[in-house]
Chain A
Amino acid sequence: MDISKIRNFSIIAHIDHGKSTLADRLLEYTEAVSKREMTDRMLDNMELERERGITIKARAVNFKYKADDGEVYDMNLIDTPGHVDFNYEVSRSLQACEGALLVVDATQGIQAQTLANAYLAVDNDLEILPVINKIDLPSADVKSTKDEIEEIVGIPADDAPEISAKLGTNIKAVLEQIVKAVPAPKGDENAPLKALIFDSCYDAYKGVIVYIRVIDGTVKVGDAVRMMHTGAEFELVEVGTLSTFGLNPKGVLSAGEVGYLAASIKNITDTEVGDTVTLSSRPANEPLPGFKKVLPMVYSGIYPADGAKYDDLKDALLKLRLNDSAFVFEPETSAALGFGFRCGFLGLLHMEIIQERLEREFNLDLITTAPSVIYRITYKNGEEKYIDNPTNYPSPDEIEEAAEPVVNATVITPTAYVGSIMELCQDRRGTFIDMKYVAGDRAELHYILPLNEIIYDFFDALKSKTKGYASLDYEPAGYAPSKLIKLDFLLNGEPVDALSFIVHADKSYARARRIVEKLRDNIPRQLFEVPVQAAVGGKIIARETVKALRKDVLAKCYGGDITRKKKLLEKQKEGKKKMRSLGSVELSKEAFMAVLKLDE
């Protein structure tokens, strides 16, 4: 392979700005895939991704392009997940490229997430090629969009191709730009092997499929390789490139190329994203820079709605874990919910994706507890512990200092909403850093915000306060001391562990009131009166009462007609199967989830 004819690039875009559609058009144009074979949006191959219109896992595809200069280029498009939860994965995908298309919707302009990824691309020394999409829409404003790119990202956008991915307009211009502007990879195919892992997935027959970009050296079938960070060693069974039709085993990959390895690897944790693959026999001196162990940021308990499905849930979690090294879980027991699992996620979206996949692909009915971040507790005896489960939160008199994770948050918004965003950030305990006005009528705000507030309902609040125009990006910024307390809830005098959560002291009363009211409204009336209480360290701070059931739904039995009564009882019986006993109180899954639902 002539390294000068290789072009490795990815596409950076905000959700719905047309990344996947553009990818499809590129493949279609170069006939890597015929129109007939094309399901809409070829690159997103999980059902869920297709439905949500987002890409969850990075994928790559190799295709040939015969350029105007008469040469045939070997193109590798590396897809990147477009969400803040997967920042690290994005950065590794970008590290595998020399260039990135920055796709901006001409009707919406740059969004915070796009900007964050564009910065990541700059950090990785990528050549950034702006592409203006959706020029077919009447509200498209190409000129302002270009100005904005120049002003915010700081790269020239005058020559940016103006395209409509939907209609296939100007796709060729994009391909020519890639060939001309994206540098060919540099690398020495005779140097010791250094290949970057940018993704992996599990295949039932081949084991873990490792997606790599070869930086230096050559790798082929039969080679013994070593993962430089995890230390795991394997003998390669398959080496090849990635076509739109799947794996294309060609036996060898050398410097500059993108492809995959398979070695009957059983455990996906052996092949972490960002690790460097080298030859066992002739290892590189040092791994590629930038490796980081990805750690969960958000934890939640997942329980089967039907306790008998515990084993099914466990099997499903194990299967998901095979494909997702960022997802962790371990068994936990709740007095209220029985046997389940404490699960760790990269963020809220990651959590939602896992939960939805469990319900959809594995047909499980779940009860999930409120998401929690990881708190750092310094005990009076000097010991330090990280707590991801409110159940394990120590009592106040044991705590010397409590700290919570904070993030650097960037919000890009039309200036009209600056006031309400500031108000929101203030309310969510944010610390203002700075704000700048960009490209006329837009502003970029920086805040330090507790992650705890972000996972509560920040996204939804931001969306509703700005009619969806503001976008948010954030990155971890360590820990900050905080006045934290644990809120407990009692039904009929008995604490319900699954409802406990950690909250900032200033918010405890309001939050307690709200949950207590939700419980009151959602707990079906029982045969007796049920006190609902919120407590901090044994002290009741809010109370409501679920009144006793006083009267049945009527089902008259006139003239021996008992059909309605039978139906009613049948329904009750069905409902009873799904009831969870929280102490002496019967609660449906729906009621439980309604209480935990994070809305204001």
Chain B
Amino acid sequence: MKKLMLYYHFPFCLSKCAYCAFFSKAGIGDEVVEEYTRALIRQTESFPTDGFEVTSVYFGGGTPTVAGEKRLCAVLEAVKKRFSLSENAEITVESNPKTVSANGLRALREAGFNRLSIGAQSFNDGTLRLLERPHNAEDFVRCFKDAREAGFDNISADLIFALPGESTDMLMHSVRSLIELRPEHISVYGLSVEEGTPLWKKKESLSSPDEEEEERQYFLLCEELAKAGYSHYEISNFARPGHESRHNTGYWKRTPYFGFGAGAHSFYENRRFSSPCDIDAYIKESKSGCFAPTGFSSAAEISEAEAEEERIMLGLRLSEGVRIDGDIPPVLTENGLAALKDGRVCLTEKGFRVSNAIIALFI
């Protein structure tokens, strides 16, 4: 059976974080969230499911848990009804501390969600305030423990480095605090201050680490995570053995996925497309009875050449690398940026930092 992954987008948040440039809105009325949820279910029900085995379902956002566990469970129910899920399908829901209760977590776990991703970002409350996160470090720890108690044995947490005002010590405090909780999976991002975000507006006044300092932080945290048994299996992701995110890995191995909801991206029937980042438009469209969002029919099929470029560009995000014919440019090996292992180019941790420039050598 053809494999398919599903993504459900929930563009709602408790409040907007100062650095966030993703499509998500805070303060959306409950009726709209309800209508949106119904639209997701409608779109799911109208999806032609024939011949697909769904290996992963991912509820992302925004903060899906802002919609409330009942709605999430209802959507998952619709998914299970409509699709045939593999027995060990990975079913992830993203959350943030203070958006879900212990009871809520229990309900999610019982409904079938088997992986939880929680945004920690930092364990320094001052930084969390600067980032306008609606929680503190303690809230995160409580949420994490509640999740464990609710039966989540596969938890991922996000961390951000190169944060303004954070010394290496402060970062390492976050890293160690997180490791102490023993999450199965950790995602790590360097902060990028993007245009249009509140952080951008005050970027002149921020004391962000310079390039050298950022690099130092990166290597230090890689080292710390490795020591704690986390493997750096993907450019931004670390996992304890066997807990690599199947959904995330699927993206880079070009497993087809379908995105439900406003602003969701799909790679389906050899096309890449997305629906507009417009909640109202999405709700309206879902009533038309059509399963596919705007953009599907107009998206061009991916040519063989383009597919090959995608294979390299996406595959190099994984530490297992990609198969190539022939040799690897000496500039990569001489400078410790990549290695050739059994005919596969694999980027080193140093190489991950400049992957675009490396990819450009192969395409």
Contacts and interface: CB of A to CB of B under 8 A. Distances in A.
A550 interface: yes
B30 to A, nearest CB: 24
A565 B313 contact: yes
A550 B353 contact: yes
Given A560-B259, A562-B314, A552 B356 contact: yes
B251 A560 contact: yes
Interface string A549-561: 1111111111111
A554 B192 contact: yes
A560 B334 contact: no
Contacts of B214: 550-551
A339 to B, nearest CB: 25
Contacts of B7: 559-560
Contacts of A573: 360, 363
B355 A552 contact: yes
A167 interface: no
B251 A557 contact: yes
A559 B313 contact: no
A560 B335 contact: no
Given A527-B335, A560-B259, A565-B313, A551 B211 contact: yes
Given A550-B354, A559-B60, A528 B335 contact: yes
Given A528-B331, A565-B313, A560 B267 contact: yes
A281 interface: no
Nearest to B211: A550
Q: Which residue, B189, B313, B360, has most C-beta atoms of chain A within 10 A?
A: B360
Given A559-B9, A563-B272, A569-B313, A552 B357 contact: yes
A15 B168 CA distance: 64
Interface in A563-589: 563, 565-566, 568-569, 572-573, 576, 584
Nearest to A565: B313
B265 interface: yes
Contacts of A558: 22, 60
A559 B314 contact: no
Interface in B181-239: 189-190, 192, 211-212, 214-215
A584 B313 contact: no
B11 to A, nearest CB: 11
A116 B309 CA distance: 63
Could you say which interface size class chain A belongs to? 20 to 34
Contacts of B65: none
B358 A527 contact: yes
Nearest to B60: A559
Contacts of A548: 335
Could you say which interface size class chain B belongs to? 35 or more
B264 interface: yes
B274 interface: yes
Contacts of B274: 561, 563
B337 interface: yes
Contacts of B265: 559-563
A572 B192 CA distance: 20
Contacts of A557: 251, 317
A573 B312 CA distance: 14
B363 A559 contact: no
Contacts of B359: 569, 572
Nearest to A584: B331
A569 B363 contact: yes
B12 interface: no
B266 interface: yes
Nearest to A552: B356
Contacts of A584: 331
A528 B334 CA distance: 9
Contacts of A555: 356
Given A549-B357, A558-B22, A572-B359, 14 more contacts: A527-B337, A550-B212, A551-B190, A557-B317, A559-B7, A560-B267, A562-B272, A562-B313, A563-B265, A565-B313, A569-B356, A569-B360, A572-B357, A576-B360
Interface of B: 7, 9, 22, 60, 189-190, 192, 211-212, 214-215, 251, 257, 259, 264-267, 272, 274, 309-310, 313-314, 317, 331-332, 334-335, 337, 353-360, 363
Interface of A: 527-528, 548-563, 565-566, 568-569, 572-573, 576, 584
13 contacts: A527-B335, A527-B354, A550-B215, A550-B354, A551-B190, A555-B356, A556-B189, A558-B22, A558-B60, A560-B265, A560-B267, A562-B272, A563-B272
Query: What are the nearest 6 A-B pairs in CB distance?
Result: A552-B356, A561-B265, A554-B192, A572-B360, A560-B265, A528-B335
